Structure 1
Amino acid sequence: MTMKIHIPLGLLAASLLVASAFPAAADETALPAPDGLTEATAAASCWEVAQLDPDAPSGDYWIATPELGSAEQFYCDQETDGGGWVLVAHGRERWSESILGSGTPAQVRENITGPAAFSPRQLSGEIIDGLVGGGRIDELADGVRLVRATNAQGTAWQDVRFRFASPRDGWTWHFDNAQRIGSYSFDGAAGSGGSTSNFGSGDGTGRVRTITGSAEGWAMGFGYGRNVTGSPDGASYLWASANGGRYARPFTQVFLRPQILSENVYDALPAGGTEAETGVSVTEGFALPQSWGVAGLGAGPSTREGSNEVSTFTESGDAVFVGGNFTTVQRSAGGQGAADQSYLAAFHRDSGEWISSFRPTFDNQVKALAALPGGRIAAGGFFSEVNGEPHEGLVVLDAATGEIDAAFTGRLINYLSGGVASVRTLDVQDGWLYAAGSFTHAASDGGGQAYTRSAARFDVTTGDPDAWNPELNGTVMSIDASARGDRVYAAGFFSQSQGRPADKAAAISTTDESLAAWPVVFSNRAGGRTGYQQAVLEVGDRVWLGGSEHSLMSYDRDTLDMLSANITLPGGDFQAIASDGQAVYAGCHCFGMSYSGATAWPSIGTAWTDAEAIYASGAWSAATGERLASFNGSFNARAGAGAWALFVDSAGTLWQGGDLRYSVRDGYVNQWSGGFVRHRASDVTAPSTPEGFQARAASDGVSLSWDASTDDRGVSGYQVLRTDRVVATVEDTHADLPAAPAGTVYAVRAVDDAGNRSASTVPVAAEAAPDPEPDPEPDPAPEPDPDPDPEPSALIAAGATWATFWSTDEVAEGWAGTEFDDSAWLTGAAPIGWGTGDIATLLDRALDPSPITSYHRAAFEVPDGSSSVHLAVRSDDGVVVYIDGTEVLRDNLDAGTVTAGTRANQNVGSSSAPGNIVELDVPDLAAGGHTVAVEVHSNYRSAVSHSFEMTVSAP
């Protein structure tokens, strides 16, 4: 079984507590009531706590629902209207509008008011949906509650409540939109109507205004009307930009009151155990750490729309190629490591590191890329010269060297539009390279010249053009050759194909250029609007088409009838589409909401079925067309162009490019992105079910144990279930629980960092521990013990002091050798790193970007009479060990050159890292002094653990 679950990594990590800390139940004849005071007695809601104890004070309580998966602490207001309100956010100005939110449960509950709480901390939409038990937000009986400061001193407060009148299934943090408000109240004064962007009455404190523009300093918040003023003072509870000070953004707390009782949401554990549960197959919303980016503008942007830093991607070998209008590659916004490289650059697929050996030159923008057989790539764009040679709009390069492939002689000619041929889009299928844009003819040295207006195809090896000619009478912006081989789809500014109507989109036969009838739906053609289309892609049984007036539609592959519709508001045309087969990603210069079911703009009406936030790009189910709201990144765009290029590489990583400057990575860390951003493929593989599960009863409790599970990215912990729910989350493979009534059943399941849960063990009741076996009778005449083996001599003992290099700078050459001076390195006792419970020397995780690799050195003496040493090193996640500068051991890293950016092949979970020891005997070492050096590599920058310890011993 696969289903959507709600356990973000931050929530899971915060709940990895020691089960034995739970107190035994006072009454062992019954399980304790869900009072929310411990993890084992977590309530299903703050409201349940209030029903159990009406006098319970406000504060932090343990809350758990089946959708949350395990318990976490949240702040509950137990005083207002009978209590039961859970705090989901607080802040003043610059709230995140992404479903990712801006904080963990711990951060939200840590400071609930005062200046320390002014910087917004918001739970993610996934956690909030879990708190409401998977129910609809628009069906919450008490709606949404805002507690807002009404003066600058924070001594007066206002209580606002509102309910949605339009569909609102899951939570969203985007409020400046057309979602309709039903009823509302301000300190009890009732009203109705308006939208979440602006509702209430008057221009004072009786209004909630989330409109975010220049008057509000572009800072999202739950603002007042124009007559309420504030200041940018850091201590003021009423914030406003220095520009007039109107429309104050007050410090605001957001509460919900889900009325959930445990008895109504928890079912007894199935006799066969719970089934495995995994997340949705869509890339992660957080961006991957950025090691390199691009910057500068070359031949634009004033000449043509879309002339942004990045316009296109493709992959060949282990490199991803980035094309666009940039002039440099660099490591940071400040220009660290900047190198001149215009319009086309290559980066390692997995690490994102720049490949400096690929250095072709272009005189203008690269707009399209495609990988060709034989380690080559095709590039199209506005250029006329490549590597100093004339190549107008199209060229084929060696993907390793950047040299021009002389065997491919295909070229384009334009006898219109000033005689300049340009290519906007490329695709490869069935031995053909398809090129489209603005031109009239295709030619080659061996194939002659063919009339192929706006779209052509070439033999991928020779470049000879084919006679295939759809003859489109306008610029083509996107082309997609179907994997089925029968059609080519085109989108752009054309209106005819071979004189036949082809209204901005066409499905063209690959054999005879015939057209399939395509009733394209346009959102607005009033006043002579053309409704041009800019992106098209066939995925499975659907054809996706995106374009102007902010539309993204999918059509049935066979009939070309519309299956799904999306309109963004306030605006932003769709301009790029990509897919991994499970999800469809679409890029746009839209920074508001995507309304599913809407087909018209600018008035989207009321028939739409769903509204989800979108910022530069969004994701949809390839099978159903449903919006996948969990992919909702947080970015800053230089000029509001958004995502003009999308690409899913062979590892499942989504690359999106445009004028993106900054992005948010895991941990809510803001980073410079430099034109493009990468998103890791989501982990949708559940860990293996724990084996060897045992439940043993004793007079003072129940002891549970099991064998470790495995997972493709590492197990993060185990959830212990009792009767009907999770009562403990632990890192180790055992847990001790309080005594419980006879017949109480227990099970355990494994969880990974992504929140995927294994199937649980079969539930079992605790058994009494077996009586110990009696001691055997002593042997009356025992044989004498043989001479014991000599104890090994510890040359480097556990907990020894090591010199460590941990920095964003490159490690110095020769660092592993005997003569290297490591006196400037950090020194500290092992284990060194983070994420495991035995760390003695903690490495600084605040470095930006966080390094992949740490380096360690120590000296040891081989005693006289020894000829070998025994090494035992922790591998978390991968290691290379050197003795006197010579490599002697490597684990979880590929063969070949290793750099600071090389990632380990697999993640090692924090619970299993201390026991993940690799051992080796090194022979023929001379007596005397030696140096051992170790480099430790993580599987990814935000690894939960990165730890090192090593012992060296001799017989």
Structure 2
Amino acid sequence: MSSPRHATTALALAALLGGAAVAGAPQASARTTAAAAPDGTASAKAAPSCWAIKQAHPGSADGVYWLQTPKLVAPQQFYCDMTTDGGGWVLIGRGREGWTFHYPGQRTAGNVRNTPTGTAAFAPAALPGDTVNALLNGTRVDDLADGVRLRRAANAAGTSWQEMRWKFKNRDDWSWTFDANPSHPLSSVVVNGTAYAGGNTRDWNNNNGSRRVFTYEWQSHGWQKGFSYGAGQTGGSTGSTSYLWQKGTEGSPIPFTQVFIRPKITSASYPAVPDAGASASTVTPLVSNQTTPLPWGVTGVMGTGTGEEFLEVQALSVLNDTIYVGGRFRYVQQGASGTKKEQPYLAAFDVKTGEWRPSFLPKLDGQVWDIQPLGDKIIIAGEFTNVDGEPNTTGMAALDPATGKVVPGWRTTFTRASGLAVKVKALDVQGGWLYVGGAFNHVSGGNPLSSKIWSVMAARVRVSDGRPDDTWTPRFDLPVVDVDASEKGDRVYFGGYFENVNDKPANSFAVISTAAPAALVPGLGTWTPSTPTANRDYRQSVLEYGDGVWMGGSQHDFQLYTRDDLTKVSGHITKKGGDIQASVVKDGIVYGSCHCPEFVFNGASSWENPVGWSNAHQIVWIGAWDAETGEYLPNFAPSIDSRLGDGPWAMTTDDNGCLWFGGDMNRGSWNSATGSYQWMGGFGRLCSTDSKAPSTPSGLRLAGTTGGNQLAWSAASDDSGSVKYEVLRGDRVIATTTGTSYTDATAPGAVKYWVRAVDDAGNRSASTAALPVEGTTTTANLLAKNATWKWRYDGTNPGASWTAPSFDDSAWSAGPGEFGYGDGDEATLLPAGTTPRHTTAYFRTTLKVADPAAYRNLLIDLVRDDGAVVYVNGTEIGRANLPEGTITPDTTALVGYSTNAEERTPVRFTVPADVLVAGNNTIAVEMHQYDRWSADLSFALTVDATLR
């Protein structure tokens, strides 16, 4: 090798190989340079903040810089204001009217950094909350010494500006919900250098003129959000060049505004990457925010009335390839204006295609509240008095899942005192029992039908035939709304309107033992309602997951408690609207639905005025929480809407990765192809996003040193079909590339590299093992390109031991490198023969080393056309362009190289020198063609070693 990075010291080489010293040989020298503070001008020079760049490089001008923190992981570009008030500000959002204040951000990060101001920046763009938190790198929002900076245009021409600083109070991580009500509190506000008392981000109103800022949507503004001035500010219009916007003559214009933060992070420590490589990491497995279109829905409502009793969908359940939809609907309907068929209360649809199943035609006389699959049947519960006119099907029936006919021999029927309507509202299965909750007093069932059993508002019946258990008879004083039977088999959770169970206090929530006679489980604490108002603390949803219990209902709360003693873990209040109506677990995430299209206050426990909350985030009819910790996951904000504002009252999941939801839902996500929102008939689905890591790149190698360390690797694969690669050096990412090579021109000396794949969703593969590169360290050449090798290319299998030092290769041919045919540059010409040619050629040579401990690493450069495996003393140390697993004489290369550059560029394997032994070492290589009609074959190999 002629590169100065691999210069050979003649004295050292002679001594180490056991030869004579060469008089007058130059001595190796080491050069060290103090690392300069990163200036953010390249990804490998990313700084931890704009502030750090300004402090280390005071002359830095306003512009785009590379930033990186341990939480940001990979370097990204941001716009830095390096002028105002000492500089060091990072721009996180900008725009005029039309801010959404959504946690996932608005438009793209490129919009924010590349168009920071000017009329082209009027359409709002904001960084995702995750990115802002990563820039903070653990700094609390209320610990920002300079607060959050708003730079607002002060006139229509954009020639005058107002500087405002918001200093937050009691705010941990980032949220964009400046318009929340109640809003984020401010401890102080500074306007153009003058300090004022605090207030809140929804409406800070010092004077109702140029110092006022309100962020909420306003009807007179056409429901547009922004950082509005007060009524005393003038000059606004809808003009495309006006920095002050107003819809008409309403006043209070919305100015073009930039939002900055200034985290003063000057250094960062990154977690060490093991030599064996970093583990894979995946994103939180949330379902998509975008609905998957469905061709059919349910419409119309049977009867007249309002409220939760008069919604299209109240029940969803999946059995095999069918989803069953129950409620108070009247029709099944194809599309927004298509075919409409009358089929009240219960219908079935294909779970994959969403097509209606017209063969499933049960006839009911009342609405369905719940559906429970039981293998070869479905159990429905509701307010009906019969199904298909069959006797003893009041409130519950077992149906054939294909036809909807009542299953013979399976019966359960309910009655209620004083002529009140039976309402069976909730079902769940545990072991051989089906647990039931609702509004009833007596139950009978089985075949033959049992006598009536007094079991008030709750019961359990046999899965096999519907016969009630007369030894397990709890007594609730008011109706049950939801039931969840523990997977652990010992208890059942009930939520509803009740105040007493078995004549003992149990305020809206009860935990009952599965052992007869259905006693309350002892030793549990009491849950805490969100309001002291009597009869406004009812529970509508109960759910056990792992060692926790989730419950929700009125007033507007969703709470997590420990299973063992009912200690509260977390609480959340939704507002405006908000009673939690249903919950389900998928992939370790709890989804809770509600009539809540605005905000959720996390850490709050009281309503109507939440206090003690850690953050406020957007919630859109359905929220997502970490099922174990109770942490709210603000990246989930589905694009859906509700006809009357009642939201989803039922949810379930299927085996295809989808979350189904139903209620009075009438609108799905935006369809860019049609330029309209997706129609939704009562129910919809949100399917899984990608949370699977790509495969690991392979074959990381040093391909050369011209212009820097030239890295190359073999591609990874991913289900999404698209990946990029992160190059790590010294335990942090220095570059991201879409190709399979990268040249590091900034390496400080001896370094280690890793490479991993990242897909579009942010899932990261495991990384390669470390590739040590010695930089300017002196190397010794141990094996030259023209060394003599024994070779064999005759189509025979040399046997399993051919790579071992003890193998007898005395009958093999011998010659100097390079080897091959078809290119004209071979020192030893192999017999090409006629096609089809032999797939594999075998090569062996001996390398004599006096003292292996004198070397640190071997640098093995391999010319291969097409694929090869390299062995040292019988152990594989690397392969190129060949599949994983066992290699046989018939194994072909993965790809065929067609260009001279591909065939002649060496592949480098860097391996520890401890693979060598003192004395003779055997190097063995097997070369594999891509196909047996190939016109050429090439093999050459050199071995250098870095000196200790």
TM-score (norm 1): 0.72
Q: Distance in 2 between matches of 1:751 and 1:646?
A: 32
Alpha-carbon displacement from aligned partner over 1:200-237 (angstroms, at most 9, x marks no partner): 40112212222345455443322233445787836354
Q: Distance in 2 between matches of 1:111 and 1:309?
A: 46
SS of the equivalent of 1:657 reads strand
Conserved 8 A contact 2:671-2:678: no
Q: Distance in 1 between matches of 2:556 and 2:236?
A: 36
Cα deviation, residue 422, structure 1: 2.0
Partner of 1:419: 420
Structure 2 CA distance for partners of 1:697 and 1:619, relative to 1, 3 Å: same
Conserved 8 A contact 2:556-2:574: yes
Structure 2 CA distance for partners of 1:324 and 1:252, relative to 1, 3 Å: farther
Alpha-carbon displacement from aligned partner over 1:309-367 (angstroms, at most 9, x marks no partner): 332221110333333344455575x4356665544344444555555554545454332
Q: Distance in 1 between matches of 2:582 and 2:373?
A: 18
Say whether residues 1:717 and 2:724 are aligned partners: yes
Conserved 8 A contact 1:298-1:364: no
Conserved 8 A contact 1:115-1:234: no
Partner of 1:100: 104
Of 563, 587, 590 in structure 1, the residue corresponding to residue 593 of structure 2 is 587
Partner of 2:139: 135
Partner of 2:818: 775
Structure 2 CA distance for partners of 1:214 and 1:505, relative to 1, 3 Å: farther
Partner of 2:62: 58
Q: Distance in 1 between matches of 2:726 and 2:125?
A: 27
SS of the equivalent of 1:692 reads strand
Q: Distance in 2 between matches of 1:351 and 1:42?
A: 48
Conserved 8 A contact 2:294-2:354: yes
Alpha-carbon displacement from aligned partner over 1:827-873 (angstroms, at most 9, x marks no partner): xxxxxxxxxxxxxxxxxxxxxxxxxxxxxxxxxxxxxxxxxxxxxxx
Q: Distance in 2 between matches of 1:739 and 1:90?
A: 34
Q: Which amino acid counterpart does residue 379 of structure 2 have in structure 1?
A: A
Of 368, 373, 376 in structure 1, the residue corresponding to residue 375 of structure 2 is 373
Root-mean-square deviation (CA), in Å?
3.7
Partner of 2:578: 572
Partner of 2:834: 786
Conserved 8 A contact 1:341-1:359: yes
SS of the equivalent of 1:130 reads helix
Cα deviation, residue 729, structure 1: 1.9
Q: Distance in 1 between matches of 2:177 and 2:263?
A: 18
SS of the equivalent of 1:297 reads strand
Structure 2 CA distance for partners of 1:71 and 1:371, relative to 1, 3 Å: same
Q: Distance in 1 between matches of 2:747 and 2:50?
A: 25
Cα deviation, residue 671, structure 1: 4.0
State the identity %: 39
Q: Distance in 1 between matches of 2:462 and 2:133?
A: 52
SS of the equivalent of 1:706 reads strand
Q: Distance in 2 between matches of 1:571 and 1:349?
A: 31
Alpha-carbon displacement from aligned partner over 1:898-922 (angstroms, at most 9, x marks no partner): xxxxxxxxxxxxxxxxx999xxxxx
Task: Give runs of aligned pairs for residues 298-337 of structure 1, distance below 5 A.
Answer: 298-299=301-302, 302-305=305-308, 307-329=310-332, 334-335=336-337
Partner of 2:127: 123
Q: Distance in 2 between matches of 1:237 and 1:778?
A: 72
Conserved 8 A contact 1:694-1:706: yes
Q: Which amino acid counterpart does residue 637 of structure 2 have in structure 1?
A: N
Say whether residues 1:524 and 2:524 are aligned partners: no
Conserved 8 A contact 1:125-1:173: no
Q: Distance in 2 between matches of 1:766 and 1:185?
A: 52
Cα deviation, residue 743, structure 1: 0.9
Cα deviation, residue 30, structure 1: 7.7
Q: Distance in 1 between matches of 2:338 and 2:119?
A: 35
Q: Which amino acid counterpart does residue 86 of structure 2 have in structure 1?
A: G
Cα deviation, residue 141, structure 1: 2.4
Of 205, 214, 220 in structure 1, the residue corresponding to residue 225 of structure 2 is 220
Conserved 8 A contact 1:174-1:593: no
Conserved 8 A contact 1:549-1:571: no
Cα deviation, residue 386, structure 1: 4.3
Conserved 8 A contact 1:103-1:124: no
Conserved 8 A contact 1:473-1:495: yes
Q: Which amino acid counterpart does residue 701 of structure 1 have in structure 2?
A: G
Say whether residues 1:148 and 2:152 are aligned partners: yes
Conserved 8 A contact 1:412-1:439: yes
Task: Give runs of aligned pairs for residues 734-813 of structure 1, distance below 5 A.
Answer: 734-738=741-745, 740-766=747-773, 772-773=785-786, 774-775=817-818, 785-786=833-834
Say whether residues 1:642 and 2:685 are aligned partners: no
Structure 2 gap segments, 5+ residues each: 1-30, 787-816, 820-824, 838-893, 897-948
Q: Pick which of 506-515 and 49-58 moved more.
A: 49-58
Partner of 1:731: 738
Conserved 8 A contact 2:302-2:344: no
Partner of 1:679: 686
SS of the equivalent of 1:447 reads coil
SS of the equivalent of 2:417 reads coil
Q: Which amino acid counterpart does residue 621 of structure 1 have in structure 2?
A: D
Q: Distance in 2 between matches of 1:434 and 1:916?
A: 60
Alpha-carbon displacement from aligned partner over 1:379-420 (angstroms, at most 9, x marks no partner): 22334454576754333222233333233222222334x532
Q: Which amino acid counterpart does residue 529 of structure 2 have in structure 1?
A: F
Structure 2 CA distance for partners of 1:211 and 1:733, relative to 1, 3 Å: closer
Q: Which amino acid counterpart does residue 65 of structure 1 have in structure 2?
A: T
Of 227, 234, 250 in structure 1, the residue corresponding to residue 255 of structure 2 is 250
Alpha-carbon displacement from aligned partner over 1:769-789 (angstroms, at most 9, x marks no partner): 986453359899997953779
Q: Which amino acid counterpart does residue 52 of structure 2 have in structure 1?
A: E
Task: Give runs of aligned pairs for residues 273-672 of structure 1, distance below 5 A.
Answer: 273-280=277-284, 282-284=285-287, 286-292=289-295, 294=297, 296-299=299-302, 302-305=305-308, 307-329=310-332, 334-335=336-337, 342-350=344-352, 352=354, 354-355=356-357, 357-374=359-376, 376-384=377-385, 386=387, 391-416=393-418, 418-444=419-445, 446-467=449-470, 468-510=472-514, 511-516=516-521, 519-526=526-533, 528-580=534-586, 582-605=588-611, 607-664=612-669, 671-672=677-678
Q: Which amino acid counterpart does residue 81 of structure 2 have in structure 1?
A: D
Conserved 8 A contact 1:539-1:581: no
Alpha-carbon displacement from aligned partner over 1:175-223 (angstroms, at most 9, x marks no partner): 3233211121122221132122222401122122223454554433222
Q: Which amino acid counterpart does residue 517 of structure 2 have in structure 1?
A: D
Q: Which amino acid counterpart does residue 425 of structure 2 have in structure 1?
A: R
Q: Pick which of 128-137 and 661-670 moved more.
A: 661-670
Q: Which amino acid counterpart does residue 465 of structure 1 have in structure 2?
A: P
Q: Which amino acid counterpart does residue 396 of structure 1 have in structure 2?
A: A
Alpha-carbon displacement from aligned partner over 1:12-42 (angstroms, at most 9, x marks no partner): xxxxxxxxxxxxxxx9978786333333433
Task: Give runs of aligned pairs for residues 795-944 of structure 1, distance below 5 A.
Answer: none
Task: Give runs of aligned pairs for residues 3-14 of structure 1, distance below 5 A.
Answer: none
Of 693, 697, 715 in structure 2, the residue corresponding to residue 690 of structure 1 is 697
Conserved 8 A contact 1:435-1:457: yes
Q: Pick which of 504-513 and 771-780 moved more.
A: 771-780
Cα deviation, residue 710, structure 1: 5.0
Cα deviation, residue 719, structure 1: 0.8
Of 42, 54, 79 in structure 1, the residue corresponding to residue 46 of structure 2 is 42
Conserved 8 A contact 1:414-1:440: yes
Structure 2 CA distance for partners of 1:366 and 1:165, relative to 1, 3 Å: same
Cα deviation, residue 165, structure 1: 0.6
What number of residue pairs does the alignment pair up?
759
Q: Distance in 2 between matches of 1:653 and 1:435?
A: 26
Q: Distance in 1 between matches of 2:587 and 2:173?
A: 26
Q: Distance in 2 between matches of 1:523 and 1:621?
A: 21
Cα deviation, residue 665, structure 1: 7.6
Conserved 8 A contact 2:292-2:687: no
Q: Distance in 2 between matches of 1:36 and 1:355?
A: 60
Q: Distance in 1 between matches of 2:405 and 2:730?
A: 67
Conserved 8 A contact 2:178-2:202: no
Q: Pick which of 56-65 and 160-169 moved more.
A: 56-65
Q: Distance in 1 between matches of 2:828 and 2:46?
A: 59
Cα deviation, residue 429, structure 1: 1.7
Q: Distance in 1 between matches of 2:365 and 2:156?
A: 56
Partner of 1:705: 712
Q: Distance in 1 between matches of 2:784 and 2:426?
A: 76
Which protein is bigger by CA-based radius of gyration?
2
